[in-house]
Amino acid sequence: MTSATIGLDKSLAEEVLSSSSKIIKEITKRLAQKCSDAGRVSVPKMDENQLVFYQLAWMKAEQEIAEHFVKYAWDSSVGSTDLEQKMAIVFAAETVSHIRGEISQRPKEYLITMEEMETALFSDKINSYIESAMGISNYSEIVDKIQEKGHFGVYGLSEDHESFREAFEDFAKNQVAPHAEHVHRHDDMIPEEIIQGLRDMGCFGLCIPESFGGIQPNDKPDNISMLVVTEELSRGSLGLAGSLITRPEILSKALLKGGTQEQKDRFLPRIASGELMGGIMVTEPNYGSDVAGVSVTAKEVDGGFVINGVKTWCTFAGYANLLLILCRTESDPNLKHKGLSILLAEKPSFTGHEFSFKQDNGGSIQGKAIGTIGYRGMHSFEVSFEDFFVPKENLLGGEEGRGKGFYYQMEGFAGGRIQTAARANGVMQAAMEAAYRYAQERKVFSKPIYDYNLTKYKIAKMAMIIQASRQYTNYVAKLLDEHKGQMEATLIKFYASKIAEWVTREAMQIHGGMGYAEEYAVSRYFVDARVFSIFEGAEEVMALRVIAKDLLEQALKG
């Protein structure tokens, strides 16, 4: 087997991936035993070597995505071809190479011997597969197939979802993209015509059942539609459109999970129509991803609650006229996250970088936009409350919802995480397309840079990453439709967010000096991509407190 003659051997790819999967399971089992205390996972023990658990989470993400990529590439029902199969073969080899490289750097810390590593992941068959699959000629062949077929890989969508995708691709190209550079460079507001256009297309009712005025079937969730729209809008511009449906998504799922019938009837139709635009207020200055530490208080008074404190990173909070606010309604500090509730507060809509609103009873809310290097258009605010009154009927879930705010917002955030993956996929797609075009136009040393195999290597790797990420994202959407997939949603959010920085960085690099100039959109893609690993859960928290901890817990259960 040579790099020039590697075949499209699904069974060999699966066999090699099975070897790395077994190693991950074994080291997870050993680490779980080491970090257990009375049969439960000890976070302080995990924190003694955070690097190992961060990397364990990353290896698990790559492993799961690679395994699914191979299945997708040989699924005739989605229209996969030899292009997707070649991508999957190479992606699987890269994944196993990364995993064995990481573990072999610090085997003692992973509680495994080099002899075990060599037996499991350095056999002649695996060595030969990796060397053959990762040969430079295979990357060039992938790009040649892309050029021949005229696309970067099939989306594998149903006919209805593909029509949906094309409609929003057209909207993003013709309505969003023309405004993207102006808004980014001037830190301007989203043009009203974009928001109204998405209202007209029913965009804000994507996850709301038809019985409440949305476009989702009453009898079955449809997360794929939400992902398709999110990806295409993000491809046009992350800040102008790609995140517009995230807040309605989080709001609606929290309402559907915990809202009273009266609350659902009152709010969901107005969210679906776009009459109510949402703002999500969870993060605080001293408590980022540590939601249990929320300190903004909601004190019960006659007829409702008064809110005091400061929330930060509240995207779209100025324009939003319906706020989801996670507050501490219970005074007992020992309750931690069980002392949190959600209040739904209405306020006037404001444009600009600052807003202030005073209630008739003297309560007030004011916000100021935080300057950011990218993700401009929606603006993220720091918001302060002073005796801001919210009526009792706006306590999510009513009296039954007191102390359950953490769980309600987590229902919304699972959708937010998978949406972040779709947003990352859209930005990566836009960056790759820009790099592909520029590489064919730009000449260096008398020939297009596209003709150099280093350029082809980069484009091929971008295409593989995006396709693998997209297909796993769609897979997770189907799991969420069945009320499963919480862990998988975190895995793909973690992976897509981090890898988007590499893709946009390399797209920028292919542009050379012009990639650093605002004249080309690729510089915007790069700074926009940087936010993915921060919002909807910082990558370190996702890796250490969610993925790795869950893996250890599952290992202890056997």
Residues that are catalytic: 536
Residue 122, both tokens? 């350095």
Residue 247, both tokens? 């807040």
Residue 333, both tokens? 């500090």
CA distance 291 to 427: 28
Contact status, residue 129 vs residue 12, Cβ threshold 8 Å: yes
Residues 6+ apart with CB under 8 A from 47: 544
Residue 216 DSSP one-character state: B
Residue 117 DSSP one-character state: H
Contact status, residue 87 vs residue 73, Cβ threshold 8 Å: yes
- SS3 labels along 510-529: HCHHHHHCCCCCHHHHHHHH
User: 428 by DSSP, 3-state: which?
Assistant: helix
- Cα dihedral sign, 294-337-47-56: negative
As beta bridge partners, residue 365 has 357, 385
What DSSP element (H or E) covers 378? none
Q: b vs e for 355-390, b when ≥16 Cβ sit within 10 Å of the residue's Cβ?
A: beeeeeeebebbbbbeebebbbbbbbbbbbbeebbb
Q: b vs e for 72-93, b when ≥16 Cβ sit within 10 Å of the residue's Cβ?
A: bbbeeebebeebbbbbbbbbbb
| Long-range CB contact pairs, 358-363, < 8 A, 24+ | 359/388, 359/389, 361/387, 361/389, 362/387, 363/306, 363/307, 363/387, 363/388, 363/389
Single-letter amino acid code for the residue at 110: Y
- SS3 labels along 53-107: HHHHHHHHHHHHHHHHHHHHHCCHHHCCCHHHHHHHHHHHHHHHHHHHHHHHHCC
Intra-chain end-to-end CA distance of the chain, in Å: 39
Contact status, residue 510 vs residue 405, Cβ threshold 8 Å: no
- Give the residue carrying structure tokens 């209040």: 343
CA distance 401 to 263: 12
What DSSP element (H or E) covers 466? helix 453-481
